[in-house]
């Protein structure tokens, strides 16, 4: 599998995603909605890519759904790079976007650019995602200037969990809605090619989507966005505890894993695994003498 896929042959690109904005096609028709899923490892990336998803996001949700942290804050740049490289190896068709983790872009802007460059050079990311609106304008512009496409992210930005006092729906008052509209405009004006809207009222997401020229990708933001993103572990039933209402479960892989493990344990304990057909054998002429069985 190539590490750095080139455009063509159905490869999803940043300009291709921009073209998917509702109403921008010459005939003003509605293009198919953009599909985005998170991925954190090679086999999942490969399966999702082969299923035809448009964007694979190495989300910093990695911290919670794979590494077992309570929030996204602890995950490090090195951990994100490690997982992004694995996802790259499984991705051929989808656009690969990597989340910049908390602390990797909050201080010196030049350092933030260097960190984003690492995602491109070392992990083959084609874009990075950063959280925040108006206050990220300068940084988004710098990244774009450095030839790094940026996906914005506003609303319930999980890296702001301490500021918000928990994972809460955002933009529910008129004032908060106005602020999010300004944030969305700022992200677009700074040069982002798309924006994630997370956990905001459907009506507000529809308004932002209608106003922006870049595609909106919703998660808990209703059906009127230009695309949707879900955390793959939520979709597959591979999470523990509270599930937000927007996280539709398409499979119960957690139950499948539990059942398979329980069956394996039973089989080993009863001596039903491995069977003779699952064992290697000496050549026939050497067998009788060599095989001893401890009792």
Q: What distance in Å separates the CA atoms of residue 223 and residue 216, rounded to the nearest whole number?
A: 11
User: Applying CB under 6 A, which residues contact ligand KIV?
Assistant: 38, 59-61, 99, 153, 196, 219, 229, 231
CB 93 within 8 A of CB 49: yes
Q: What distance in Å separates the CA atoms of residue 226 and residue 176, rounded to the nearest whole number?
A: 22
| Residue of minimal Cβ distance to ligand KIV | 59
CB 205 within 8 A of CB 215: no
Q: What distance in Å separates the CA atoms of residue 8 and residue 26, rounded to the nearest whole number?
A: 21
Select 13 or 71, whichever has its Cβ closest to ligand KIV.
Answer: 71
Q: What distance in Å separates the CA atoms of residue 269 and residue 77, rounded to the nearest whole number?
A: 42
Distance, CA of 199 to chain centre: 16
Select 17 or 278, whichever has its Cβ closest to ligand KIV.
Answer: 17
Select 239 or 284, whichever has its Cβ closest to ligand KIV.
Answer: 239
Select 59 or 215, whichever has its Cβ closest to ligand KIV.
Answer: 59
Q: In the bound complex, what is the minimum distance in angstroms from residue 119's beta carbon to ligand KIV?
A: 14
Clarify whether 277 is annotated catalytic: no
Q: Please, what sign has the CA dihedral across residues 269, 273, 276, 279?
A: negative
Helix (H, G, I), strand (E, B) or coil at 219: strand
Q: In the bound complex, what is the minimum distance in angstroms from residue 146's beta carbon to ligand KIV?
A: 22
Q: In the bound complex, what is the minimum distance in angstroms from residue 193's beta carbon to ligand KIV?
A: 15
Q: In the bound complex, what is the minimum distance in angstroms from residue 294's beta carbon to ligand KIV?
A: 50
Q: What distance in Å separates the CA atoms of residue 144 and residue 150, rounded to the nearest whole number?
A: 7
How many helices and strands in the chain, by DSSP H and E? 12, 8
- Take residue 34 and report the two structure tokens written for it: 């953009």
Select 62 or 292, whichever has its Cβ closest to ligand KIV.
Answer: 62
Q: In the bound complex, what is the minimum distance in angstroms from residue 247's beta carbon to ligand KIV?
A: 10
Q: In the bound complex, what is the minimum distance in angstroms from residue 79's beta carbon to ligand KIV?
A: 13
Select 155 or 201, whichever has its Cβ closest to ligand KIV.
Answer: 155
Q: What is the DSSP string of 3-68?
A: SSPPS-TT---HHHHHTTSTT-STT---PPPEEEEE--SHHHHHHHHHHT-SEEEE-TTHHHHTS-
Distance, CA of 108 to chain centre: 25
User: Which residue among the candidates 198, 263, 278, 285 is catalytic per the annotation?
Assistant: 198
Active site members: 198
């Amino acid at each position: 599998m190539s590490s750095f896929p080139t455009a063509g042959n159905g490869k999803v690109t940043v300009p291709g995603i921009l073209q998917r904005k509702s109403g921008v096609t010459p005939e003003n028709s509605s293009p198919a909605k953009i599909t985005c899923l998170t991925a954190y490892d090679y086999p999942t990336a490969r399966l999702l890519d082969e299923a035809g998803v448009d964007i694979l996001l190495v989300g910093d949700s990695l911290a919670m759904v794979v590494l077992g942290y309570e929030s996204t804050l602890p995950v490090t740049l090195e951990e994100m790079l490690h997982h992004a490289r694995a996802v790259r190896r499984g991705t051929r068709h989808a656009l690969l976007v990597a989340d910049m983790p908390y602390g990797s872009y909050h201080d010196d802007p030049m350092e933030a650019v260097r960190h984003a460059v690492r995602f491109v050079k070392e992990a083959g990311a084609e874009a990075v995602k950063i959280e925040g609106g108006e206050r990220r304008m300068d940084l988004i512009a710098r990244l774009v200037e450095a030839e790094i496409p940026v996906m914005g992210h506003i609303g319930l930005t999980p890296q702001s969990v301490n500021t918000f006092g928990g994972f809460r729906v955002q933009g529910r008052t008129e004032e908060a809605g106005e602020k999010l509209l300004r944030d969305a405009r700022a992200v677009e004006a700074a040069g982002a090619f798309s924006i994630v809207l997370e956990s905001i009222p459907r009506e507000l997401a529809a308004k932002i989507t209608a106003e922006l020229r870049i595609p909106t990708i919703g998660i808990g933001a209703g059906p009127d966005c230009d695309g949707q993103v879900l955390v793959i572990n939520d979709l597959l039933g591979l999470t523990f505890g509270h599930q937000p209402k927007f996280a539709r479960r398409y499979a119960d892989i957690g139950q499948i894993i539990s059942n398979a493990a329980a069956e394996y344990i039973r089989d080993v304990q009863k001596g039903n695994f491995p069977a003779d057909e699952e064992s290697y054998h000496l050549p026939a002429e050497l067998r009788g003498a060599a095989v001893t069985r401890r009792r």
